[in-house]
């Protein structure tokens, strides 16, 4: 039992094209995190050359381990490029040793899946432990948590007519299912240490990406999520503080935080404490709130700059129009800037603009991407052009 395989990132590199030199280090870091999480304690991997990895499986047979290797590359393509080309996912599997040299056989993912299906049809037994189900070749991965990646989309500053702020969001691929977004990446949201771990991971990845952009003369603002529970408890806050203190000072003026999970009725003293803590390391603090929130005066008094209402998928003006108008009016009354996330359609974009929101985000404004972009002018004329086109 056991097997040896080699996978490469050449297909990812080819599809990224001219972007590869800028993101290569991040792609390798993501690949290595994924390997560390997927491989078992008795398995091993090491880097081979510029773009290849050698994987050694102690218990999995050639067929099963080959599918695991292929799935790693497929998930990388999906996380980085939005989709995977299974015909371009190749795995080199060791088949024999001759005169001290290992011979590899190359198979792509389509071929592996076809072989697995054929084995099931023929009733043959595949090499591997009894728990391996050839009818579900991703079962091994389904039991594993794949690494969290971070994606970004623009927020439209309506008053200044510019896409200058990019919203960071964690995203975890889940084999055979839709990806998990935001704090749904934490399986048990009562586990406050896991929430802290997610916040630290997102902060690290975001700052790593923005640092690269900054060195390449890209300029935009970045809003990073942080959960209320991460900054509310003294012990967790100290750990988060250590991560904040490691951020290069030149990046802090481009950083914002959006606080998620604020409890209803949060005291102004607690809200002020959290805002003051985060403002040491950022330009502004944003509060993410639910419809019907009664705490806008408290948040304004605490120094929150933007209160953002998050709409559910499929939100329409008919269902949410009155809530949007009330929220924008109340935010303006207490001198908060009103923001809305979930503006996914032409109608919602036009309605939110008319309701008086200062900031908007959603599929209609800009979709999720692997890296933020330079600040971009986006006027009401551009909005009207999109409305007419839609």
Question: Domain boundaries in the chain?
Answer: 3-142, 149-389
Contact 332, 296 (CB under 8 A): no
Contact 231, 270 (CB under 8 A): no
CB-count burial class (<10 Å; 0-12, 13-18, 19+) for 333: exposed
CB-count burial class (<10 Å; 0-12, 13-18, 19+) for 342: buried
Neighbour tally for 257: CB within 10 Å: 26
Contact 226, 259 (CB under 8 A): yes
pLDDT at 132: 43
Please tell me the distance from the alpha carbon of residue 287 to that of residue 306, in angstroms, as a whole number: 6
Q: pLDDT digit string (tens) for 240-270?
A: 999 999 999 999 999 999 999 999 999 999 9
Tell the residue number behind the tokens 């949410």, with chain if given.
320
Distance of CA 70 to the CA centre of its chain: 21
Please tell me the distance from the alpha carbon of residue 320 to that of residue 314, in angstroms, as a whole number: 10
The answer to whether residue 98 scores a pLDDT higher than 80 is: no
270 Cβ contact list (under 8 Å, min separation 6): 232
Please tell me the distance from the alpha carbon of residue 82 to that of residue 369, in angstroms, as a whole number: 8
Bridge partners of 310, per DSSP, are 341
- Tell the CATH topology of 149-389: TIM Barrel (3.20.20)
Phi first, then psi: give them for residue 141, nearest 5 degrees: -75, -30
Q: pLDDT digit string (tens) for 3-51?
A: 888 888 888 888 888 888 877 887 888 788 778 777 777 888 888 888 8
Q: What is the mean pLDDT of the chain?
A: 84
Q: What architecture does CATH give domain 3-142?
A: 2-Layer Sandwich (3.30)
Phi first, then psi: give them for residue 43, nearest 5 degrees: -95, 170
pLDDT at 104: 61
Neighbour tally for 276: CB within 10 Å: 12
Share of the chain above pLDDT 90, in %: 47
What average pLDDT does the segment 385-390 reach? 73
CB-count burial class (<10 Å; 0-12, 13-18, 19+) for 290: exposed
Q: pLDDT digit string (tens) for 310-321?
A: 998 888 889 999
Between 355 and 137, the more confident residue is: 355
């Amino acid at each position: 039992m056991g097997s040896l395989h080699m996978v490469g990132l050449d297909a990812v590199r080819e599809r990224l094209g001219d972007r590869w030199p800028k993101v290569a280090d991040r792609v390798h870091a993501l690949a290595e995190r994924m390997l560390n999480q997927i491989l078992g304690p008795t398995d091993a991997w090491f880097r081979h050359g510029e773009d290849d990895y050698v994987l050694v499986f102690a218990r999995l047979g050639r067929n099963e381990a080959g599918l695991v290797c292929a799935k790693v590359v497929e998930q990388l393509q999906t996380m980085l490029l939005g989709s995977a080309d299974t015909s371009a996912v190749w795995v080199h599997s060791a088949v024999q040793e001759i005169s001290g040299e290992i011979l590899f056989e190359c198979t792509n993912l389509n071929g592996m899946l076809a072989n697995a299906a054929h084995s099931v049809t023929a009733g043959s037994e595949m090499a591997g432990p009894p728990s391996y189900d050839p009818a579900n070749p991703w079962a091994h991965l389904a039991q594993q948590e794949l690494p969290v990646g971070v994606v970004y989309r623009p927020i439209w500053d309506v008053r200044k007519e510019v896409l200058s702020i990019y919203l960071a969001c964690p995203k975890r691929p889940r084999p055979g299912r839709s990806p998990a977004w935001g704090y749904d990446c934490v399986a048990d949201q009562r586990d406050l240490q896991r929430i802290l771990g997610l916040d630290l991971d997102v902060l690290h990845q975001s700052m790593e990406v923005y640092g690269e952009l900054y060195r390449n003369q890209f300029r935009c603002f970045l809003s990073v999520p942080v959960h209320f529970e991460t900054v509310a408890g003294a012990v967790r806050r100290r750990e988060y503080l250590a991560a904040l203190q490691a951020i290069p000072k030149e990046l802090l003026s481009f950083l914002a935080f959006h606080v998620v999970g604020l409890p209803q009725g949060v005291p102004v003293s607690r809200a002020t404490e959290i805002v003051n803590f985060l403002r040491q390391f950022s330009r502004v603090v944003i509060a993410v709130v639910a419809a019907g929130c009664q705490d806008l005066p408290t948040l304004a008094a605490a120094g929150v700059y933007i209160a953002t209402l998050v709409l559910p998928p499929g939100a329409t003006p008919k269902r949410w129009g009155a809530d949007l108008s009330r929220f924008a009016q109340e935010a303006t009354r207490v001198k908060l800037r009103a923001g809305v996330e979930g503006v996914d359609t032409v109608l919602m974009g036009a309605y939110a603009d008319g309701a008086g929101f200062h900031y908007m985000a959603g599929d209609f404004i800009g979709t999720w991407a692997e890296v933020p972009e330079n600040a971009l002018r986006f006027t009401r004329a551009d909005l009207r052009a999109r409305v007419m086109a839609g």
